[in-house]
Structure 1
Amino acid sequence: MNEHNPRSTAKVAGHPLHPMIVPFPIAFLVSALATDIGYLNTGSDGWATASMWMLGAGISMALLAAVLGLTDFLGDRKIRMHRAAWLHMVGNVIAVAVAAVNFYLRATGDAAAAIAPAGVTLSAAVVLILLFTGWMGWELVYRHRTGVSEEPDMASARVETRR
């Protein structure tokens, strides 16, 4: 990997793991908002149950993504030099904390009753935070080239020479 780019330290066969995992918590936590809205529109307890599952899965996968992201963050000083890395990390910690409060409110009471208005508000807040932290993640990869290899992939190079 080019010495100029910040490198990912949590990787397998040169492939950074953090960007492979982050779509899962994002999808689960956005789905929690969607299922909350489904509950508000129908009043069906199935939507409330689905929201609990989406929050639980989102928090679980976010914790895994956090371990991998923290490994990258601590593994290369160049990553820590970027303001976007700090905003990405702190924002995601806040998003997971808000999701955990949302899950707790539902788990300790009536899950359906916890949706309106607190649950759906917390779910929407998490989605808004994820939009911001996703933007910061974009900054890290596409502007600062974090985890991007500058070395040509030999298989791709062979295909290019055949054209």
Structure 2
Amino acid sequence: MYSKATIAGHPVHPTMLVGFPVACYTGTLVGFAVYAATGHQFRLNPAIALNVVGVGSALLAALPGFVD
């Protein structure tokens, strides 16, 4: 795969950065589902934090994506 954004000849965008938002959004979904099932506020705070990290890492992954 040819990519303009590379580190040591390896593409940056698909291999390194895309997994983080996917994992954070999955954790957000699980956290919200547990909160909806139990109603405990303790599970809501990490879900919100994961959502914020997921959006931030998605924006970070978008930069090399636009370069490509």
Q: Choose between structure 1 and 2 for higher RCO, CA contacts under 8 A separated by at least 6 residues.
A: 2
Q: How many equivalent pairs are there?
A: 67
Gap runs ≥5 in structure 1: 73-163
Corresponding residue of 1:69: 65
Higher Cα Rg: structure 1 or 2?
Answer: 1
Q: Deviations over 1:10-41 (max 9, x none)?
A: 11100111121100000001111110001011
Corresponding residue of 1:38: 34
Corresponding residue of 2:9: 14
* CA-based RMSD: 1.0
Gap runs ≥5 in structure 2: none
The question of 1:58 aligning with 2:42 is answered no
How far off its partner does 1:42 sit?
A: 1.2
The aligned runs of 1:73-112 (5 Å cut-off) are none
> TM-score, normalised on structure 1?
0.40
The question of 1:29 aligning with 2:39 is answered no
CA distance in 2 between counterparts of 1:71 and 1:46 reads 40
> TM-score, normalised on structure 2?
0.91
CA distance in 2 between counterparts of 1:54 and 1:38 reads 14
